[in-house]
A and B are shown apart, each in its own frame.
Chain A
Amino acid sequence: MTAILEPETQSTVEHAVRLSGVRKAFGTGARSVVALDGVDLAVEPGEFVCLLGASGCGKTTLLNLVAGLDAVSGGEIELNTARPAVMFQEAALMPWLTASRNVELPLRIAGVKRADRRRRTAELLDLVRLGEVGDKRPHELSGGMRQRVALARALASAVHGAGGGKQALLLMDEPFSALDAITRDVLQAELLRVWRTTGTAVLFVTHDVREAVRLGQRVVLLSSRPGRVVQEWQVDRLSAAGEAKTVDEINGRLREVISSHAAA
Chain B
Amino acid sequence: MPPPDAGVDTVEPDAVAAGLDALDTPDPGSSRTPVWRRIARTAVPPLVTLVLVIGVWQALWALAFWPEFKLPAPATVGGELWARLTSGEALGFIWTSVHRAVLGFLIGVAIATPIGLVVAKVRFVRAAIGPLLSGLQSLPSVAWVPAAVLWFGVTPTTIYVVLLLGSIPSIANGLVAGIDQIPPILPRAGKVMGAGRLAGARHILLPAALPGYLAGLKQGWAFSWRSLMAAEIIATSPDLGTGLGAYLDNGRFLADMPTVISAIVLILFVGVGIELLVFRPLERVVLAARGLGGAL
Contact A95 B1 (CB under 8 A): no
Looking at B12-20, B69-77, B169-177, B267-275, the stretch in contact with chain A turns out to be: B12-20
What is the 8 Å Cβ interface bit string for chain B, positions 194-234, against chain A (1 contact, 0 not)? 11000100011001101000000000000000000000000
CB of B40 closer than 8 Å to a CB of A: no
Summarize B's interface: helix, strand, loop or mixed.
helix
CA gap between A90 and B24 in the complex, in Å: 17
Contact A182 B16 (CB under 8 A): yes
Q: Which of B2, B186, B189, B204 is the most central at the interface, judged by chain A CB atoms within 10 Å of its CB?
A: B189
Taking CB atoms and an 8 Å cut-off, the chain A residues in 163-189 that contact chain B are 182-183, 185-186, 188-189
Identity of the chain B residue whose Cβ is nearest the Cβ of A188 in the assembled complex? B9
Shortest Cβ gap from A162 to chain B (Å) = 13
Shortest Cβ gap from A243 to chain B (Å) = 7
A residues less than 8 Å from B189 (CB atoms): 86, 88, 92, 94
CA gap between A143 and B207 in the complex, in Å: 23
CA gap between A144 and B16 in the complex, in Å: 12
Asked if A85 meets B192 with Cβ closer than 8 Å, knowing A92-B185, A141-B25, the reply is: yes
Contact B1 A214 (CB under 8 A): yes
CB of B239 closer than 8 Å to a CB of A: no
CB of A216 closer than 8 Å to a CB of B: yes
CA gap between A88 and B186 in the complex, in Å: 11
CA gap between A196 and B193 in the complex, in Å: 23
CB of A108 closer than 8 Å to a CB of B: yes
Taking CB atoms and an 8 Å cut-off, the chain B residues in 9-60 that contact chain A are 9, 11, 13-14, 16-17, 20-21, 23-26, 28
B residues less than 8 Å from A190 (CB atoms): 13, 17
CB of A192 closer than 8 Å to a CB of B: yes
Q: Chain A interface residue count: which class?
A: 35 or more
Contact A183 B20 (CB under 8 A): yes
Contact B194 A157 (CB under 8 A): yes
Shortest Cβ gap from A138 to chain B (Å) = 7
CA gap between A106 and B189 in the complex, in Å: 10
Contact A157 B192 (CB under 8 A): yes
15 A-B residue contacts at CB 8 Å? Answer: A48-B1, A86-B189, A92-B185, A94-B189, A95-B291, A96-B289, A138-B291, A142-B26, A144-B17, A145-B21, A157-B194, A196-B4, A214-B7, A237-B1, A237-B3
Give 20 A-B pairs besides A95-B289, A129-B17, A142-B25 with Cβ atoms closer than 8 angstroms.
Answer: A69-B191, A85-B193, A88-B185, A88-B188, A90-B185, A94-B204, A94-B207, A96-B286, A109-B193, A109-B195, A109-B199, A140-B28, A142-B20, A142-B24, A189-B9, A216-B1, A235-B1, A238-B2, A240-B6, A243-B2
Interface residues, chain B, with chain A CB atoms under 8 Å away: 1-4, 6-9, 11, 13-14, 16-17, 20-21, 23-26, 28, 185-186, 188-195, 199, 203-204, 207-208, 210, 286, 289-291
